């Protein structure tokens, strides 16, 4: 992760107006705003988040802010520009670094910093990012946060009143494909279907569980076909046959492996 302070060259005070975070592998940007940010000082486009009382700018609008500071991808001579700057392809981050975020429209620029230089109020937000997420029934999520808190989040009402999420109400299986966003900033089903970590933390109800409990369950209570065959004293072919006949119910199936709940396999020995 690369971190930059956003500052204003037109002022003598070297004040950090915001912080730009870049995740290189995923090529995603996020902007963090100070809790006491002044909308008049905050860079244009980001000021609307300050006015709404939001301190984290999501990846979509963070990327838009970056794109406004670099040459657009549809520029007529973009190929020549890339060659002149020894770039093999259009890359928002590399283009942003050419002038350290400067552009002709304003006096803002970027200063590289490390995570230890971030204000405590920003690092506190990191502790509430998402560590893991598990889809449950009835449009609920079990969310593990970095501060050790585990919450059950009911998203039914949010989906009902938000048009972008209507497909999740019509196709329940799609809900199971929830993914954690880069950096733990939220969860997503699609580019237009995201829920922030802050919202999940706010609406969720704490449950007496830790991520270690979850890991222990997965380690000790989830087994593969070979382990199931060993417990039942049969061949893997018999396990496949039991699965086809609906006598065993896999919790996950892929081309290379099939996973079962150990408790269900053990119950076969009780019959």
Domain with 146 in it: what CATH number? 3.30.2020.10
Q: Where would I find the H helices in the chain?
A: 47-51, 59-67, 78-84, 92-98, 120-126, 156-161, 166-170, 172-175, 197-203, 211-221, 225-232, 236-244, 262-268
Query: Which of 124, 155, 178 marks a domain boundary?
Result: 124
Interior CA angle at 173 toward 171 and 176, to 5°? 125
Residue 271 pLDDT? 58
Residue 170 pLDDT? 87
Alpha-carbon gap, residue 22 to 56, rounded angstroms? 14
Is the separation of the CB atoms in 37 and 18 below 8 Å? yes
Residue 254, pLDDT > 90, answer no
Residues 38 and 112 in one domain: yes
Residues 169 and 99 in one domain: no
Total tally of structural domains belonging to the chain: 3
Query: Which of 171, 191, 209 marks a domain boundary?
Result: 209
Tens of pLDDT, residue by residue over 129-155, are 999 999 999 999 999 999 999 999 999
The answer for residues whose C-beta is within 8 angstroms of residue 152's C-beta and 6 or more apart is: 136, 140, 141, 142, 143, 204, 205, 207
Residues 16 and 108 in one domain: yes
Residues 101 and 51 in one domain: yes
Alpha-carbon gap, residue 261 to 225, rounded angstroms? 10
Domain interval for residue 132: 127-209
Q: In angstroms, what CA-CA distances link 175 with 111, 119, 141, 170, 221?
A: 40, 36, 10, 10, 24
Residues 225 and 202 in one domain: no
Tens of pLDDT, residue by residue over 101-133, are 999 989 999 999 999 999 999 999 998 899 999
Residues 189 and 105 in one domain: no
Query: Which of 158, 185, 209 marks a domain boundary?
Result: 209
The pTM (predicted TM-score) of the whole model is: 0.78
């Amino acid at each position: 992760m690369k971190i930059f302070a956003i500052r204003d060259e037109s002022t003598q005070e070297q004040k950090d107006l915001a912080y730009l975070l870049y995740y290189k592998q995923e090529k995603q940007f996020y902007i963090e705003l100070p809790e006491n940010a002044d909308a008049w000082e905050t860079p244009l486009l980001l000021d609307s988040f300050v006015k709404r009382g939001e301190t984290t700018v999501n990846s979509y609008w963070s990327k838009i802010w970056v794109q406004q500071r670099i040459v657009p991808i549809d520029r007529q001579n973009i190929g020549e520009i890339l060659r002149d700057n020894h770039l093999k392809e259009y890359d928002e981050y590399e283009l942003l670094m050419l002038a350290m975020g400067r552009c002709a429209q304003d006096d803002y620029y970027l200063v590289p910093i490390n995570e230890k230089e971030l204000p405590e109020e920003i690092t506190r937000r990191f502790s509430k990012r998402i560590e893991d997420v598990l889809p449950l029934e009835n449009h609920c999520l079990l969310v593990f946060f970095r501060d050790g808190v585990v919450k059950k989040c009911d998203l039914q009402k949010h989906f009902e009143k938000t048009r972008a999420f209507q497909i999740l109400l019509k196709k329940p299986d799609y809900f199971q494909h929830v993914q954690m966003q880069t950096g733990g900033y939220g969860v997503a089903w699609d580019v237009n279907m995201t829920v922030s970590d802050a919202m999940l933390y706010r609406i969720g109800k704490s449950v007496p569980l830790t991520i270690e409990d979850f890991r222990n369950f997965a380690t000790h209570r989830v087994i593969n076909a070979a382990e199931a065959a060993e417990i039942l004293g049969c061949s893997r072919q018999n396990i496949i046959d039991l699965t086809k006949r609906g006598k065993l119910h896999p919790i996950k199936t892929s081309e290379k492996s099939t996973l079962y709940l150990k408790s269900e396999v053990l119950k076969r020995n009780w019959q």
